[in-house]
Amino acid sequence: MKTVSTVRSHGGVQGGYSHPSRETGTEMTFSVFVPPHAEGAALPVVWYLSGLTCTHANVTEKGEFRAACAELGLILVAPDTSPRGEGVADDAQGAYDFGLGAGFYVDAMQPPFAPHYRMWSYVTEELPALVADQFPADPARQSIMGHSMGGHGALTIGLTFADRYRAVSAFAPIVAPSQVPWGQKALGGYLGVDRSGWRRHDAVALIEDGARLPDLLVDQGDADPFLAEQLRPELLAEACRSAGQPLTLRMQPGYDHSYYFISTFMGEHLRWHAERLAV
C-alpha cells in the first residue's frame, strides 16, 4: 500500500491510498478517515460505496462526514467504483453508466470486462483485509452505506453478508437493477443475458428470495431526476412490506441526487450506524 496524501482534519487523519489489486489486476485507490483515538484502540468501520461516474474522491471532498466520524469514533473507508488504467475495458461508446466509473459492485463474467471488473470481490474480500491490516479497524464492527449505484452495492452486499455488517443504509439507491435501464445495461453487460444470475445483485430480488437485515435506512429526495425511471424506491418498500423486512424509507422534500442531498443527511446516517456498531 502506498500513501498518496494525508491531511489533519477534526483531530483525525484523512488519507488517500493506492495499492496493486490482485482482484482487478490494476492499481486501486481508496480513502480512509481515521478519527482521533487512544493508542491501541480498535475502531468500528463504515464502508461508503459511491455512485456512477464517481471515484473515492467525491465523498471524501463533498460528503461532510468527518466531524460526525470524529465525534462518534468511526473510521470511514471509500473505495473507487471501478478498475482503471491501461488495458481496462470501457463502454464502446464512452457512456457514463457502464465501464469506467460504473463497476456496479459485481464480478464481471463477460468479455472484455471479466479480467478486471471484480468489484464485488474487491470490496467484500481484498480491501477489507488490507484495511484491517493497515488501520486501527475492528473487523467485528463493520457497517456499509452508499449512494445511487453505491446504494445498490451497499444493499446487496449488506443483505448477502448480514452477519458481517451491523448496519446498512443508502442514499437514493438503485433498489431493483433488474427492473430499470441502468441496472439492466450493467447486469447484462457484466453478467450476461441469463437473468437468474442477476438476482444476487438485486436488493428487491434478494429480499424476495429470503435475505433479511435487522433494519434498513434509506433516504430519497423527491426532486431527484432519476427517481421515477432508475431508482424506484416504491419497489423496495413493497418488497420489505411483503417480506416483513424492517425499513425506514424517508422521502426528503425538495432534495435531488447530488452531494448537497447526501451531506445534509450524512450525520444522521452515521449516528444511526454508530448506535448499531456500539453493541
Determine the Cα–Cα distance for residues 112 and 91; give it in Å rounded to an integer. Answer: 10
Quick: pLDDT tens for 49-73: 999 999 999 999 999 999 999 999 9
Judge contact between 65 and 103, C-beta under 8 A. Answer: no
pLDDT value of residue 26 = 98
| Domains, the chain, ordered by start | 2-277 (3.40.50.1820)
Residues in the chain, pLDDT under 70:
279
pLDDT value of residue 279 = 67
Determine the Cα–Cα distance for residues 105 and 22; give it in Å rounded to an integer. Answer: 16
pTM: 0.97
pLDDT value of residue 172 = 98
Name the active-site residue from 148, 152, 169, 202. Answer: 148
Determine the Cα–Cα distance for residues 265 and 270; give it in Å rounded to an integer. Answer: 9
pLDDT value of residue 204 = 98
Verify whether residue 224 is a known catalytic residue: yes
Verify whether residue 222 is a known catalytic residue: no
Name the active-site residue from 116, 257, 269, 273. Answer: 257
